[in-house]
Amino acid sequence: MTTRLGLDLGPNSIGWAILDDSARIVATGVRVFPEGVDRDKKGGELSKNETRRVARGARRQTTRRAKRKRRFRKLLVGAGLLPPCAAAKAGLPERVEWERQAFMASDPYVLRLRAIREPIDRHELGRALLHLCQRRGFLSNRKADRANKKEASQMLAEISELESQIKASGADTLGEHLAGVASSNPLSRLRGRHTRRSMYEQEFNAIWAAQQPYHQAALTDDLRQKLHHVLFHQRPIRVPKSVIGLCELEPNRRRCPRADRRAQRFRMLQEVNNLLLIDECGEERPLSGDERSRLLDYLAAADKRSFDNIRKFLRFGPAVQFNLERGKRRNLLGMQTDKAMSHKSRFGSAWRDVGEEQKNRIVRTILDEEEAVVLRLAQEDWGLSAQQAECVLEADLPAGYMAFSREAIAKLLPHMERGIPLMADDGALCAISEAGYLRPDQRPIQRRQKLPLPPPLPNPIVRQALHEVRKVVNAILREYGQLDEIHIELAREVKGSLQQRTEYVWRIREREQQRDGAADAIRQHGVSPTRESINRYLLWMEQGGECVYTGKPISLAQLLGGEVDAAHILRKSRSLDDS
């Protein structure tokens, strides 16, 4: 007798049923389990470890801030810009001795104002610099993918307002502006304002330039470099390698970034090798060797090419179609990274003269190395200016990872360059077999008496669901014995008839076209498009550039600068709708 198990897998429940060979239901059941994440009052996802992680992060931040202040204070004392701390010798708390110093009673904002206008005493200068170390402003940590750094819109709006106030007051620095605010209104609160790191860095440079002629012996270039590093250095955000998936062909290797040039060449070859031409009579044929070679060169010269442009380039009539257009797809992707690197603000036309291996090394350095290393190599080895090096770091490179590792792609590329498709189901010649790998249908199936532990996954919802599936299936095996078939239905599968699925594909393609247009519009204004910025742009267009609550106009600069955000008119927690 054939027994089949059906599983309906959702984020917090599993429905199951066992059927015999006559489609009679043998047993059914439902297992409800806690979701892999917690939910806030608005229905947003919260990690189960968030409370512990936030507390640990706060402790680290407090410790690092105290360490930075101690190092900064020690440098100032060693340079004679602050009086030595006698409290440490007396065994008293250092804070008590510092508060006893007469210069500590002076207003630091007044000292910061005087420091850029007139010569001041060395200890007063040290007091002004020490005050800069108390709060050093907000800095967005910029790596290859800066779009992943979400900034609070309210904070950005406050920073923008403060910059406008500084400009309107005629002040040259943040300290000068705050000193003017305090003098005009002694009861005004100066702390608690959101500021940028660049404001403090500008003021540090202005104070140093103004006071160095009067204290040349103390204000050396070496001291300036050390103080600047302690005051403004910030650890870059690192993406742990553990969150990157493993290669399907090389299980001990991590997947290759999509921005890697070889990964883009691999994807381009895969699509061109699978491309079929459909003539006026409906007959299909692959591209000829000359057509394929010309198309590869045509794609490599741009980030993407539409099928209409491909038809014109290959001199095909408008009645000729391609098989990849059946899903309403509009274009083939090219070398997106080369397009970004050849921008005039980065390498410009000189990128075409760089060798292929050198291009690969440059891109891998941008993807894998720290920001400081990229900036140094860009100016020392790549011949770029400081401004061009900054623009290289801000390049809009494709996000995400391929299914294969760099090592696997390197083995597959030579065979795909010959025009061999990546995979073939009927045992025909394919790149995977030529490279020495097994096709999925050739890989041995590991049969077990029960399901093993699932692999570690970064997605908490999927990880929780897989563990629950293991518990359910193993319990069914113990109760009802071995099964012949297992059918799984996932909550996100597209259901419905052929017509419904076709309409669903049409809606996806139309939405893709709208989002591509929004991304191009955002890039034209010098901003890297992200999923969030594209959503905001589309809503902004639908609203005619106005706020639906106040009726006030929203400029494109405010929209892309993060000063506005999208709100749920109907709360998700009550409407159960996240649109």
pLDDT in tens, the chain (579 residues): 678 999 998 878 899 999 988 888 999 999 998 877 776 665 566 777 778 888 998 999 899 999 999 999 999 999 988 887 644 444 445 544 554 455 556 788 899 999 999 999 888 899 899 999 988 887 765 543 344 444 456 777 788 888 888 888 888 898 888 888 888 887 777 877 888 888 899 999 999 999 999 999 899 999 999 999 999 888 766 667 777 888 989 989 999 999 999 999 999 999 999 999 988 888 889 999 999 999 999 999 999 999 999 999 999 988 888 988 877 788 999 999 999 999 998 999 899 999 999 999 999 999 888 877 888 899 999 989 888 888 888 888 888 899 999 999 999 999 999 999 998 877 788 999 999 998 888 888 778 888 999 887 767 778 888 899 999 999 999 998 888 889 988 765 444 444 555 566 677 778 888 899 999 888 888 888 888 889 889 999 999 989 888 888 998 888 888 788 888 777 777 776 766
Amino acid at 163: E
Distance CA 427, CA 436 (A): 14
Find, among 397, 399, 410, the residue nearest to 250 by Cα. 410
For the record, the structure tokens of 321 come out as: 């179609």
For the record, the structure tokens of 117 come out as: 């206008």
Amino acid at 170: G
Distance CA 110, CA 181 (A): 11
**pTM for the whole thing?**
0.64
DSSP state of 19: E
Report the pLDDT value the prediction gives residue 90, as an integer from 0 to 100: 40
Q: Please give the full DSSP string across 527-577, using - where no structure is assigned.
A: ----HHHHHHHHHHHHTTTB-TTT--B--HHHHHTTS-----SS-HHHH--
For the record, the structure tokens of 440 come out as: 């999925």
Q: Please give the full DSSP string across 195-258, using - where no structure is assigned.
A: -BHHHHHHHHHHHHHHHGGG-TTTS-HHHHHHHHHHHH--PPP---GGGSPBPSS-TTSBPPBT
Report the pLDDT value the prediction gives residue 313, as an integer from 0 to 100: 93
Residue with structure tokens 């994807």? Answer: 267
Distance CA 104, CA 87 (A): 15
Phi then psi for residue 10, to 5 deg, are -115, 180
Find, among 339, 336, 278, 280, the residue nearest to 307 by Cα. 278
Sign for the pseudo-dihedral over CA of 146, 148, 151, 153: positive
Distance CA 362, CA 261 (A): 10
H/E stretch holding 276? strand 276-278
Burial (CB count <10 Å: 0-12, 13-18, 19+), residue 177: buried
- Paired with 430 in beta bridges are none
For the record, the structure tokens of 494 come out as: 């597209």
Phi then psi for residue 145, to 5 deg, are -110, 85
Amino acid at 396: D
Residues 265 and 335 sit within 8 Å (Cβ to Cβ): yes
Instruction: State the Cα angle at 267 between 314 and 369, rounded to 5°.
Output: 130
Distance of CA 315 to the CA centre of its chain: 40
Report the pLDDT value the prediction gives residue 505, as an integer from 0 to 100: 63
Neighbours of 530 (CB within 10 A): 19
Find, among 417, 33, 110, 84, the residue nearest to 262 by Cα. 417
SS (H, E, C) 152-202: CHHHHHHHHHHHHHHHHHCCCCHHHHHHHHHHHCCCCCCCCCCCEHHHHHH
Report the pLDDT value the prediction gives residue 150, as an integer from 0 to 100: 44
Find, among 519, 288, 248, the residue nearest to 419 by Cα. 288
Q: For residue 383, give every residue at least 6 positions away whose Cβ sits within 8 Å of its Cβ, in sequence order, or none.
A: 350
Distance of CA 192 to the CA centre of its chain: 29
Residues 29 and 16 sit within 8 Å (Cβ to Cβ): yes
Amino acid at 548: V
Neighbours of 470 (CB within 10 A): 15
Distance of CA 534 to the CA centre of its chain: 14
The backbone region for 477, taken as left when phi is positive above 0, alpha when psi lies in -120 to 50, beta otherwise, is alpha
Report the pLDDT value the prediction gives residue 42, as an integer from 0 to 100: 58
